Copies of this chain bind each other. A is one copy, B any other.
Amino acid sequence: MAKSNKPPLTDRDNLSLTEVLHALSDPVRLEIVRQLDEAGEKACGKFGLDMPKSSLSHHFRILRQSGVIASEGQGTILMNRLCWKELETSFPNLIESILAGVRSEQRRPARGRTKK
């Protein structure tokens, strides 16, 4: 993919439910979405996530390709926003119920993962 300040986005009128759910099925990506919901918009480097830049780019790419977030170059900075309106149009109440779930899990006491 050629580098650009304007990364390709999927067709917003045609979000795929399975792609959106896949994009949101990862704790790092859910945290990015949670922070964007709180902040409105945020630059890629400002999420306080301790991981290699390549991993972070991978997570942003999946969120962007699914149409969950949109990114826009502002000078040398890539700003991200949650595509709340587009998600709400395609899948009413979905993003709200997922964000409520994220907040609810964050309030729970720490626990081990359920068995596989």
Is A97's CB under 8 angstroms from B94's CB? yes
For chain A, give the interface size range: 35 or more
Indicate whether A113 reaches chain B with its CB closer than 8 angstroms: yes
Q: What's the Cα separation between A90 and B114 when bound, in Å? A: 14
In the assembled complex, 9 residue pairs joining A and B whose CB atoms fall closer than 8 Å, in A order, are A10-B115, A11-B114, A14-B111, A18-B26, A21-B22, A65-B114, A67-B114, A91-B98, A94-B94
What are the 4 tightest A-B residue pairs by CB atom distance, in nearest-first order?
A: A22-B25, A21-B25, A10-B114, A93-B97
Quick one: copies of this chain in the complex?
2
Residues of chain A having any CB pair with chain B under 8 Å: 8, 10-11, 14-19, 21-22, 24-27, 30, 65, 67, 90-94, 96-98, 100-102, 104-105, 111, 113-116
Known interface pairs A90-B101, A93-B93, A93-B96; A30-B17 also in contact (CB < 8 Å): yes
Shortest CB distance A34–B (Å): 11
Q: Is the CB of A100 within 8 A of B104?
A: no
